[in-house]
Amino acid sequence: MLKNRKISYISPTTEIYQKSLKEAGVPEQFIELMNGIALAQAQGEFDEISDDLKNILGRNPATLKDFLVDHFSN
């Protein structure tokens, strides 16, 4: 929890996601690209764990929780 509030996320259907991008004025080729990335992520294609970012940074990357606390806490 951040600031004693639960953060929830509900993944939209492909149709809703594409429609919202179109309504936001995103060009069709980018809608297809973004939809492909979203589907690949949902199917676990980006679930590989490596030390690549740590090696590039020369330190451990921040956790999502630490980033959120650092940027949104008072």
19-36 per-residue burial string, b: 16 or more CB within 10 A, e: under 16: eebeeeeeeeeebeeeee
pTM higher than 0.85: no
Q: What is the pLDDT of residue 7?
A: 77
Lookup result for tokens 């929830």: 8
Q: Which residue has the higher pLDDT, 25 or 72?
A: 25
State pLDDT tens for residues 8-64.
888 899 999 999 999 999 999 999 999 999 999 999 999 988 999 999 999 999 998
